[in-house]
Amino acid sequence: MPVNLPAPVINLLGLLRPRLLRPDLKAATIGHVDWKGLRGEGFNAVVIDKDNCITLPHADNLYPPYTPAWRTLLSAFPPGRVLVVSNSSGSAKDRGGIGAEALTLALGTPVLNHAAPKPACSADIVAYFAGRLGKPRTTRSELLRPLRRVQRAEDEAEGVLLGKWRDEVENGPLCGGERDPISPPRPEKLPPPEEEPAPTAPPATPSPLRLLVVGDRLFTDTLLARRLDKYLPAPGSVLSIQTTDLPQPNDVRPLRALEERLTRGATTPFGEQYSRFVRVDPPLPVVPPPTLAERLNPMQLLEDGGPPITWHPRSWRCRPVTAVLLRTLGRGLRVATLSVGIVAVQLARGLRAASLWAQARCTKWNAQRRAAAQAQAEAEAEAKAAEEAAPSDSAAADKVKTA
């Protein structure tokens, strides 16, 4: 049996030996794992983290996109063989185990109550699956027990008062012992509270324990898997699975960056034989980050203006305000261009009408000028002909005079 080490010492071992931080398998979510296939490979229990694996951080309800995968996980293993181990619910921070009870009722599976944080709670996990921790109890049952005693005492007191009323009133001198007695109205009572079924302890099984440890943190979940492997006699009894597609990836971002740098994104050779049980989605196309020129490009701002602007002053950011100003300027330019176009069309129509009118006036003036010139030419021709005829007439008159 290995020595129980505190969590800081185990984390220090992970820093000194980074290969301990390498998980056996990597999966995007719990929905990318073939749980029934791993169950067929001999793994008979699951230890799973809470935050960013099945719920959001600081929440008890199941993350809605993980609901089908969670049901598949619970159906692949017997009741009580899926254990939730978290450093929030059920830990020393959870006074009285209220958070563990609420999480148990929300998820439908036991939550481990442990004093030492992960990864130093390996002994408690092994003791739970060995049946040494007994049947899990909840605070709800402890609270309901005295309430039921009080309710029974109230029922007995009510029965005593009802008996006195029948002796002194119903069968007494007030009612005279009538044949059809009048019964007093009984106060309405709420139905007795139903006791929530406590999760059953895992049945004792002669088969050796083989665990699946699922989590998103390497310093807690993967190191927990390495510690559990030391508690189990058979080698290769623990398979560590890291989930990478997190609902809230900004949680403890510096520690995640340190984990990724120490492990370099690698996994152990032991997990290669089980890689067929993890579905790998095709990678998304890599979009290069925009350059400074593209960020300052007005068209890029118009395409991606950022979050919408509301009346709240916090929404008045530089990028959306610039995008709105550019859109407004573009609309103003479009309206101005349309107005200039309409004015230009109307001006062209006016110029065309003026040119047609001027052409008609010029044609008429030319016709009048040609007619006047022709009339003047005819008048000059007649005058010349008259001048030529005038000497012949004077000569004929002189001949007559001489004769």
| Confidence (pLDDT) at 43 | 92
Rounded to whole angstroms, how far apart are CA atoms 226 and 228?
Answer: 5
Amino acid at 163: G
Is the pLDDT score of 190 beyond 50? Answer: no
Domain boundary among the residues 166, 195, 224 is at 195
Residue at which a domain ends, from 127, 162, 195: 195
283-289 long-range contacts (CB < 8 A, ≥24 apart) are none
Comparing 155-169, 322-336, 387-401, the range with the smallest average pLDDT is 387-401
Q: Which of 51-60, 99-108, 136-145, 256-265 has the lowest mean pLDDT?
A: 136-145
Per-residue confidence (pLDDT) for residue 82, from 0 to 100? 92
Q: What is the pLDDT of residues 240-261, one digit of tens each?
A: 999 998 888 777 788 888 888 8
Q: What is the pLDDT of residue 393?
A: 63
Per-residue pLDDT, 179: 47
pLDDT band for position 98 (cuts 50, 70, 90): confident
Q: Is the same domain home to 71 and 207?
A: yes
pLDDT at 299 over 90: no
The one-letter amino acid at 78: P
Does the pLDDT value for residue 343 go beyond 70? yes
Residue 34 scores a pLDDT above 50? yes
Gap between the Cα atoms of 177 and 192, Å rounded: 35
Same domain for 263 and 149: no
Inform me whether the pLDDT recorded for 171 exceeds 90: no
Same domain, yes or no, for 73 and 158? Answer: no
Number of CB atoms found within 10 A of residue 78's CB: 14
Q: 234 and 161, same structural domain?
A: no
103 within domain boundaries: yes
Q: Say how many C-beta atoms besides its own lie within 10 A of residue 277's C-beta.
A: 22
Domain presence at residue 394: no
Beta-carbon contacts of 294 under 8 Å, excluding residues fewer than 6 positions away, are 300
pLDDT value at residue 254? 86
Q: Which of 207, 206, 168 is nearest to 184 (CA)?
A: 168
If pLDDT is split at 50, 70 and 90, which confidence band does 101 have? confident
- One domain for residues 56 and 122: yes
Select from 204, 216, 209, 188 the least CA-distant residue to 85: 216
Half-sphere exposure of 59 (CA within 13 A, CB side): 13
Q: Structural domain tally of the chain?
A: 3
Report whether 70 contacts 54 (CB < 8 A): yes
Q: Report if residue 384 sits inside a domain.
A: no
Is 170 found in the same domain as 74? no
The rounded percent of the chain whose pLDDT value lies above 90 is 30
Domain assignment of residue 26, yes or no: yes
Per-residue pLDDT at 131 exceeds 90: no
Evaluate if residue 188 carries a pLDDT over 60: no
- Is residue 125 domain-shared with residue 227, that is, in the same domain? yes
How does strand 45-48 pair with strand 211-215? parallel
Same-domain check for residues 130 and 83: yes
pLDDT higher than threshold 80 for residue 382: yes
If one compares 33 and 160, the residue with the highest pLDDT of the two is: 33
Contacts of 48 (CB under 8 A, 6+ apart): 30, 54, 73, 82, 83, 84, 85, 213, 214, 215
Residue 141, CA atoms < 13 Å, CB-side half-sphere: 11
Is the predicted pLDDT of residue 201 greater than 90, yes or no? no
In a domain, 284, yes or no: no
For residues 129 and 143, membership in a common domain is answered with no
- The answer on 156 and 121 residing in a single domain is no
Of 246, 277, 308, the residue that ends a domain is 277
**Has residue 366 been placed in a domain?**
yes
Same domain, 147 and 251: no
Task: Answer yes or no: is pLDDT of 191 > 70.
Answer: no
Taking a C-beta distance cutoff of 8 angstroms, is the pair 23, 260 a contact? no
Q: Is residue 185 part of a domain?
A: no
Assess whether 38 and 119 both reside in one domain.
yes
- Give the side-chain half-sphere CA count within 13 A for 283: 3
Which CATH number characterizes residue 12's domain? 3.40.50
Residue type, 352: R
Rounded percentage of the chain residues whose pLDDT exceeds 70: 82
How high does pLDDT run on average in the chain? 82
Judged against a pLDDT cut of 70, whether residue 134 lies above it is answered with no
Tokens for 377, please give them. Answer: 């030419």
Tell me, yes or no, whether 221 lies in a domain: yes
CB 47 within 8 A of CB 228: yes
In tens, the pLDDT along 57-75 reads 888 899 999 999 999 999 9
Q: What's 135's DSSP letter?
A: S
Minimum mean pLDDT range among 49-58, 135-144, 187-196, 220-229 = 187-196
Q: How confident is the model at residue 320 (pLDDT cuts 50, 70, 90)?
A: confident
Structural domain including 165 reads 139-178+190-195
